[in-house]
Amino acid sequence: MTHWLSSEEQRSWRGWLTMNRLLSDVLERELKAAVGFGLPEYEILVHLSEAPQRRVRMADLAHRTLTSRSRLSHQIDRMERAGWVVRERCEEDQRGQWAIMTATGLDVIERAAPIHVTGVRDHLVDVLGEEFSTFGRMCSTVVEPLTVATPGISQPLTREDA
């Protein structure tokens, strides 16, 4: 038997869906207007910029960005053409590849980061104020069992984890 959402639960669920979509859309538009690319490229560049030697194995990068290896490969192809990353075969096992941020990629993320951080602060952190840390804990509470239940997906690393 289905346990339907109450009216209040339905309002909360739909509010979260709307917030998630609108926030992603506005952050995407702000990045594109300022630096000419959006959130997928930004997320990849963030993970690479925070990694030792600015390099991450492609399979690990797919896990960290919660995307398929195929989709990531196409994205990295575009970013290679732009000169932001290069790929290099993993010498350890000859099977995997590294995605490595170039100096140009580092320049790009350094230009984009202030735009993105300002957007996150303006549209979420400052709007929630003191409730933001509660929001973060609530998100972690939901994310943890989802990462355990989703094969091949690990919880994305934060700066503290890197």
pLDDT average per 10 residues of sequence, the chain (162 residues): 95 97 97 96 97 95 92 96 95 85 97 97 97 95 83 51 38
Q: What are the tens digits of pLDDT across the range 20-32?
A: 999 999 999 999 9
148, two tokens:
């355990």
**What pLDDT, on the 0 to 100 scale, is given for residue 155?**
52
**Residue in 162, 154, 161 with CA at minimum distance from that of residue 62:** 154
Task: For residues 160 and 108, give the distance between their C-alpha atoms in angstroms, rounded to a whole number.
Answer: 22
Task: Report residue 153: phi and psi, to 5°.
Answer: -115, 130
92, two tokens:
């350890």
CATH code of 24-149, in short, is 1.10.10.10
DSSP code, position 116: H
**What pLDDT, on the 0 to 100 scale, is given for residue 153?**
58
> In the beta sheet, which residues pair with residue 101?
85
